Amino acid sequence: MKTRVVIDPLTRIEGHLRVETVVEDGVVVEARSSGTLYRGFEQILAGRDPLDAVQLTQRFCGVCPSAHAVASSQCLDNAFGIMPPDNGRIIRNLIQGANYIQSHILHFYHLVALDFVRGPEFPPFIPRFEADYRLPKSTSDEIVSHYVQALHIRLKAHEMSAVFSGKMPHCASVVPGGVTVTPGVDKVTTFLWRLKELRDFISDVYLPDVLTVAEVYRDYAEIGVGCKNFLSYGAFDLDNEPVVTNRRRFFAMARYHSGALEPLDPAKITEDVTSSWYRSASHLPPAAGETLPDPNKPSAYSWLKAPRYDNSVYEVGPLARGVIAYTKGSNSAYVKSIDNALAQLRLKKESLFSVLGRHLCRAIETKVLADAMADWVLEIKLDQPTATRHAMPDSAQGRGLWDASRGALGHWISIRNKLIERYQAVVPTTWNASPQDDRGQPGALEQALIGAPVKDPNNPFSVARIVRSFDPCVACAVHLVTPRGRLLQKVRVI
């Protein structure tokens, strides 16, 4: 018997995501992921001063504004033909690093832990799917206490960012050419002090909690597998090479396709709109992208477009970065941490392609990154400049390719008469939660759902766990808000 299971909206994520599955004999056989908001930022940007893009694109989202600040300023660096000096590069990395840390801690404790840990009997811990809580009460209570501690820790990460970004969310200091902040001993020590507290929390609380949950939910190392193609633009620049595909990054730019690492050619990225509510042409590269809404398009079911690389579906995010780092082997701390986690959980490398693999890689990269940031902050040279000057060209094109915490983030600009002629962003959740493309291939999240077990269609907790393992953010992904009914959680079984 076929049963249609609709979760709309899928809660505890940013924005409104609707997930519809068809379940047959206890297994998902069809899945549709729909971004249900249209935002229209790309239209807002057209005709404005290019320098506004760094501030306006940060308003896509309050969770990952730092990534938009960096991608947008790198997009303008590229259009202006400039690169930041070392200090500008390092301080952008530190601002972005602070945001990865807070975002990953937010994801585990506040967006996902309650899928696995039974909280107390009052909001926000209820309502919930009532099934499959496996941890003893004492362990659950301890992780719930860390849920509260994590709220304070995220504040520290925001403060750490604000030392150099001026404020959080929505940084003030990131500009084309670098950053406007003047570093001093006071800022470096304040940053280091906050970082020490965060590193202690990551090593002593966050990573152990993820491993504790993983141990009792080891079957989720085989659930939510996905397309097994991974793409990352990389992040955290280690040199000032102008050509981004040649630049050395702490997380490497690469693709993992059919089990092997391949270079990434950004010219092969296009966005299909057959299943999306747009009347613009399908299969356009983002640099020539158009965003013309058509809410009555019959073939469509999402406001998200479907980004594809060389017509293939790719997953982006911490698992993509983890698989690339592990296969490449050049980031030894990352490789070692993944090996340790797999050994502790008695899992094979292939188990990374799963719900658990996404959570493990997210926690591990938080530690590896926070450790590296302690070295980076000491590379700042207090008497050196932090920004390179630019001249506004009459006409230019630029692109910024950079991994946000949730994965590959691209900004593309076209400048004409010193104004923005066209601005396009392709964000991580658009890659992951995309609908079917022109060839009918389901998106990465849809593929992860197909084949998943759903024992009781009235209680589809496995679907929620798979979706949330991607850390979807629909605010980022569709860029306008239309009012909708404020349903807390609706599970419709037809």
Q: Pick from Mg ion, ligand NFE, none: which does 160 bind, CB < 5 to 8 A by kind? A: none
Q: How far is the CB of 86 from Mg ion (least distance, A)?
A: 32
H or E segment to which residue 270 belongs: strand 269-272
Q: Which of residues 414-473 bind Mg ion (CB under 5 A)?
A: 425
User: Is the torsion defined by CA of 145, 201, 15, 24 positive or negative?
Assistant: negative
Angle formed at CA 162 by CA 479 and CA 372, multiple of 5 degrees: 95
- Of 160, 167, 14, the residue nearest 100 (C-alpha): 160
Q: How far is the CB of 80 from ligand NFE (least distance, A)?
A: 22
Which DSSP category does 386 fall into?
Answer: S
Q: What is the CA 177 to chain-centroid distance, rounded? A: 25
Q: Which of residues 420-439 bind ligand NFE (CB under 6 A)?
A: 427-429
Residue 430 exposed, middle or buried by CB count within 10 Å (0-12, 13-18, 19+): buried
User: Is the torsion defined by CA of 208, 210, 212, 214 positive or negative?
Assistant: negative
Q: Residue 430 in contact with residue 307, Cβ under 8 Å?
A: yes
Residues in contact with Mg ion, shown as a per-residue x/- string from 377 to 416 under the rule CB under 5 A: ----------------------------------------
Phi and psi for 96 in degrees, rounded to 5? -65, -40
Among 37, 168, 324, 477, binds ligand NFE (CB under 6 A): 477
Q: Which of residues 294-333 bind ligand NFE (CB under 6 A)?
A: none
Of the pair 115, 271, the CB lying nearest Mg ion is at: 271
Q: How far is the CB of 60 from ligand NFE (least distance, A)?
A: 6
Query: Which of these segments, 83-91, 185-193, 236-244, 473-481, binds ligand NFE (CB under 6 A)?
Result: 473-481
* Binding residues with Mg ion: total (CB under 5 A): 1
Residues in contact with ligand NFE, shown as a per-residue x/- string from 37 to 76 under the rule CB under 6 A: ------------------------x-xx--x---------
Q: Pick from Mg ion, ligand NFE, none: which does 476 bind, CB < 5 to 8 A by kind? A: ligand NFE
Q: How far is the CB of 429 from ligand NFE (least distance, A)?
A: 3
Instruction: State the Cα–Cα distance between residues 34 and 478, nearest whole angstrom.
Output: 10
> Which tokens belong to 387?
């920004």
Q: Give the nearest residue (CB) to Mg ion.
A: 425
Q: How far is the CB of 116 from Mg ion (least distance, A)?
A: 33
Of the pair 205, 427, the CB lying nearest ligand NFE is at: 427
Residues in contact with ligand NFE, shown as a per-residue x/- string from 165 to 204 under the rule CB under 6 A: ----------------------------------------
Residue 64, CA distances (Å) to 20, 50, 449 in order: 27, 21, 25
User: Is the torsion defined by CA of 199, 115, 448, 442 positive or negative?
Assistant: negative
Of the pair 36, 386, the CB lying nearest ligand NFE is at: 36
Of the pair 269, 425, the CB lying nearest Mg ion is at: 425
Told to check if 14 binds ligand NFE by CB under 6 A, we report yes
Instruction: State the Cα–Cα distance between residues 373 and 379, nearest whole angstrom.
Output: 10
User: Any residues with CB less than 8 A from the CB of 279 and at least 6 apart, and which?
Assistant: 292, 293, 294, 297
Of the pair 264, 425, the CB lying nearest Mg ion is at: 425
* Maximum Cα interatomic distance, the chain, rounded to a whole number of Å: 71
Residue 76, CA distances (Å) to 40, 144, 173, 231, 284 in order: 21, 43, 15, 23, 21
Of the pair 35, 183, the CB lying nearest Mg ion is at: 35
Of the pair 342, 475, the CB lying nearest ligand NFE is at: 475
Told to check if 254 binds ligand NFE by CB under 6 A, we report no
**List of residues contacting ligand NFE (CB under 6 A):** 14, 61, 63-64, 67, 404-406, 409, 427-429, 473, 475-477
**List of residues contacting Mg ion (CB under 5 A):** 425
